Amino acid sequence: MGHLELKNLSVQFGGLKAVNNLDLSVAQGELRCLLGPNGAGKSTTLDLICGKTAATSGQILFEGRDITGLSEHRRARLGIGRKFQTPSVFKELTVLENMEIARSQNPGILASGFVFRTHIRGRLKEVLELVELKDHVHTKAGNLSHGQTQWLEIAMLLIQDAKLILMDEPTAGMTIQETRRTGEIFNSLKGHHTMIVVEHDMTFVRQIAETVTVMELGALLAQGSIEEIENDPKVRAAYLGN
């Protein structure tokens, strides 16, 4: 049983099956890369998992529990965190204030005793160090570079203890150096958080990939190691259109 399981999942928009009978199983602590040409249904798949979009048919199991009918809010409380293409940080607030807000969303805060508060303070330091924002705690989020803003958003998911992190093209617009550092961050999260990362940058995919899933026209096209995927004639045809 995977940490996350999609079973025969579909969503239809008018006449279009944006996701079509998709089966997917992601293990606890795994980083799964999701690839596919534009319009393949990658973003919609993330929308279905986080509850932004309701499935037309099929099932979503998270930690063995059927979450198909739960609201986006309920799923967030279960530990499903979504990072959108456009970062949703508060630009007028500092890095630390943004982290405080994210931290207040941590489900554990409800049981917030001294031990928990001490733990979370240590964790805050650790997370800000990981994303290299330790020296920018008092910087307004609006003054961060594009890459730093993306990292702040990742840090906000980490301080919420998101168990499943969904990321849609996290390196879009990043410099080569920022992309490489992002890969290092993701690699260090393996085993601790389950992640699904939609990406186009193949250098980045090679840096982080374990198993790669390729979608086309809402359905599963291929799945395997990065080498298997790159040598798969079906995948080449989907990307090159021949």
Which residue ranges make up the site for Mg ion (CB under 5 A)? 43
Residue 36 binds ligand ADP, judged by CB under 6 A: yes
Candidates 35-43, 101-109, 151-159, 174-182 — which segment interacts with ligand ADP by CB under 6 A? Answer: 35-43
Does residue number 21 form part of the binding site for ligand ADP (CB under 6 A)?
A: no
What Å distances lie between residue 49 and 20, 148, 183, 217, CA to CA? 14, 26, 23, 18
Structure tokens of 55?
């499935």
C-beta of 88: minimal distance to ligand ADP in Å? Answer: 18
Q: How far is the CB of 38 from ligand ADP (least distance, A)?
A: 5
Contacts of 70 by beta carbon, 8 Å cutoff, 6+ apart: 51, 78
**Of residues 40 and 128, the one with the C-beta less far from ligand ADP:** 40
| Interacting positions 51-110 with ligand ADP (CB under 6 A) | none
199 vs 203: CA distance, rounded Å? 10
Minimal distance in Å, beta carbon 105 to ligand ADP? 26
Task: Give, rounded to a whole angstrom, the gap between the first and last alpha carbons of the chain.
Answer: 37
Chosen residue from 29, 39, 72, 78 binding ligand ADP by CB under 6 A: 39
Q: Which is nearer to ligand ADP, 79 or 218 (CB)?
A: 218
CB of 137 vs Mg ion, minimal distance in Å? 32
> Which of 3, 26, 41, 174 is in the footprint of ligand ADP by CB under 6 A?
41
Q: Does 3 bind ligand ADP (CB under 6 A)?
A: no
32 contacts ligand ADP (rule: CB under 6 A)? no
Give the Cα separation of 62 and 55 in Å (integer).
15
- Closer to ligand ADP by Cβ: residue 45 or 98: 45
Which residue from 69, 75, 64, 70 is spatially nearest to 4, judged by alpha carbons? Answer: 64
Q: Following CA atoms 111, 117, 120, 122 in sequence, which dihedral angle do they give, to the nearest 10 degrees? A: -160
18 binding partner (options Mg ion, ligand ADP, none; Cβ < 5 to 8 Å by kind): ligand ADP
How far is Cα 187 from Cα 181, in angstroms, rounded to an integer?
Answer: 10
> In this chain, which of 10, 44, 148, 179 binds ligand ADP, going by CB under 6 A?
44
Provide the edge-to-edge strand list for the sheet that holds 219-224: 80-83, 164-168, 194-198, 31-35, 211-216, 219-224
Task: Give the footprint of ligand ADP on this chain (CB under 6 A).
Answer: 13, 16, 18, 36, 38-44
